[in-house]
Amino acid sequence: MARPREFDADTALDGAIGVFREHGFEGASAEMLVKAMGIGRQSLYDTFGDKWRLYRSAVRRYGMGEGSAHIEALRSGARAIDGIGAMLRRVVETADQPCLGVGSICEFGASRPDLAEVHAPLARTLRDAIAARVRDAQRDGDVAANLDPEAAAEFLIANIAGIRVAGRGGAGRAALTSLADMALRALR
Amino acid sequence: MARPREFDADTALDGAIGVFREHGFEGASAEMLVKAMGIGRQSLYDTFGDKWRLYRSAVRRYGMGEGSAHIEALRSGARAIDGIGAMLRRVVETADQPCLGVGSICEFGASRPDLAEVHAPLARTLRDAIAARVRDAQRDGDVAANLDPEAAAEFLIANIAGIRVAGRGGAGRAALTSLADMALRALR
DNA sequence: GATGATCTTGAATGATCGTTCCAGATCGAC
DNA sequence: GTCGATCTGGAACGATCATTCAAGATCATC
CA of B5 vs C1' of C30, distance in Å?
19
pLDDT averaged over every residue in chain B? 93
DSSP chain A: --PPPSS-HHHHHHHHHHHHHHHTTTT--HHHHHHHHTS-HHHHHHHH-SHHHHHHHHHHHHHHHHHHHHHHHHH-SSSHHHHHHHHHHHHHHTTTSPPHHHHHHHHHTT--HHHHHHHHHHHHHHHHHHHHHHHHHHHHTSS-TTS-HHHHHHHHHHHHHHHHHHHHTT--HHHHHHHHHHHHHTT-
To the nearest whole Å, the CA of B122 is away from the closest chain A CA by 13
At residue A42, the pLDDT reads: 87
Fold entry, domain A59-185: Tetracycline Repressor; domain 2 (1.10.357)
The dihedrals phi and psi of B110, each to the nearest 5 degrees, come to -110, 25
Q: Which nucleotide is nearest to B2 (CA to C1')?
A: D5
- A25 vs B78, higher pLDDT: A25
Nucleotide D30, nearest residue via CA and C1': A1
Question: What is the Cβ-side half-sphere exposure of residue A187, based on CA atoms within 13 angstroms?
Answer: 30
CB-CB under 8 Å, A151 with B182: yes
CB-CB under 8 Å, A170 with B110: yes
The dihedrals phi and psi of B132, each to the nearest 5 degrees, come to -60, -40
In window 30-49 of A, residues with CB < 7 A from nucleic chain D are 30-31, 41-42, 45
Question: Which sequence spans correspond to the domains of chain B?
Answer: 59-185
Q: Decide if pLDDT at B7 tops 90.
A: no
Q: Decide if pLDDT at B8 tops 80.
A: no
Q: Which nucleotide is nearest to A2 (CA to C1')?
A: C5
User: In chain A, what is the greatest distance between 2 CA atoms, to the nearest angstrom?
Assistant: 64
Q: Which residues of B touch A24 (CB under 8 A)?
A: 24, 26, 106-107
In window 46-105 of A, residues with CB < 7 A from nucleic chain D are 50-52
Confidence band for A43, pLDDT divided at 50, 70 and 90: confident
Confidence band for A6, pLDDT divided at 50, 70 and 90: low
Determine the straight-line distance between the first and last CA of chain B, rounded to whole angstroms.
Answer: 63
Sign of the alpha-carbon torsion through A34, A39, A45, A47: negative
Count CB neighbours of B184 within 10 A: 18
- What tens digit of pLDDT does each residue of A76-123 get? 988 999 999 999 999 999 999 999 999 999 999 999 999 999 999 999
Count CB neighbours of B172 within 10 A: 12
- A2 vs B14, higher pLDDT: B14
What average pLDDT does this structure show over B62-67? Answer: 97
- What tens digit of pLDDT does each residue of B138-161 get? 999 999 999 999 999 999 999 999
CB-CB under 8 Å, B155 with A109: no
